[in-house]
Amino acid sequence: MTEVPPSGDELLDDGDELRRAIEAIVLVSDEPVPSELLAQLLEVSVPRIDEICGQLALDYEASGRGFQLARVAGGYRYQSHPDQEQWIERYVLEGRSAKLSAAGLETLAIVAYKQPISRAQVSAIRGVNVDGVMRTLQNRGYLIEVGRDPGPGQAVLYGTSQRFLEELGVDSLDDLPPLASFMPDSETVDTLERGLRTSIDADLDAEAGDGPTS
């Protein structure tokens, strides 16, 4: 426990006052509170806020609290400790969203990496109509309209929302690994290539000598 003894004979220092104010503000917020906002309200620097919050999160963990102070979507929030999942599940939770379908996840994945992107572009990548899935994702607050294509047609362009980051539990999109790291491995690419290979390819290779390789 990191507490000052009840009968403590020293005043809370400045850091402690800041910590208490942060605890109070984050507790009453219903969304992650940005470091910048905390810094502005408490009139200290952003690094100081991050330092105190980092220490606070460690304190909670060390004293075995049933909750955590988490950094998500650019801010701080309280959340239940993952190891208390079983108890939380017993407690009826409103709005605990149903799992996304495979189609929903893939569509979300495409928008996350290709944003801003139009519905037609997502559809072209997936090879199916995605209108319904996109609408679902928008209703669930994962996708938002972020603008319009300047070209003809002025298609609506979509991006992922703050809410998406919150549900994903990451601080920002930059925390996602680069797209290249998700490319199928060379073995899979070979398999796909062989699946489409015709015997005439060999002839062509021989003939063209330096044709484009796949």
> Coil, helix or strand for 57?
helix
- Please give the helix or strand (H or E) that residue 107 lies within, else none: helix 102-114
Shortest distance, position 151 Cβ to other proteins, whole Å: 22
Rg (CA), the chain: 25
Query: By the 8 A CB rule, do 148 and 154 touch?
Result: yes
Out of other proteins, a second copy, none, what residue 5 binds, judged by CB under 5 to 8 A for its kind, is a second copy
C-beta closer to a second copy: residue 13 or 201: 13
Q: Which is nearer to other proteins, 7 or 139 (CB)?
A: 139
Residue 7 binds which of a second copy, other proteins, none (CB < 5-8 A, kind-dependent): a second copy
Answer with the entry of a second copy, other proteins, none that 71 interacts with (C-beta below 5 to 8 A by kind): none
Name the residue nearer to other proteins (CB basis): 101 or 154. 101
Nearest distance from C-beta of residue 16 to other proteins, angstroms:
19
Query: SS3 for 209?
Result: coil
Closer residue to a second copy, CB minimum distance, 36 or 175: 36
Nearer to a second copy, 27 or 204 (CB): 27
Q: What is the dihedral sign for C-alpha 189, 99, 133, 155?
A: negative
4 binds, among a second copy, other proteins, none (CB under 5 to 8 A by kind): a second copy
Cα distance between residue 98 and residue 96, in whole Å: 7
Among a second copy, other proteins, none, residue 205 binds (CB under 5-8 Å by kind):
other proteins
**In the complex, what is the shortest distance from the CB of residue 86 to a second copy, in angstroms, rounded to a whole number?**
9
Do β-strands 75-80 and 117-118 pair in parallel, antiparallel, or remain unpaired? Answer: unpaired
Q: Which of 113, 141, 142, 138 lies closest to 125, judged by CA? A: 113
Q: Which residue has the tokens 């990191």?
A: 2
For the CB of residue 131, give the shortest distance to other proteins in the complex, in Å: 10
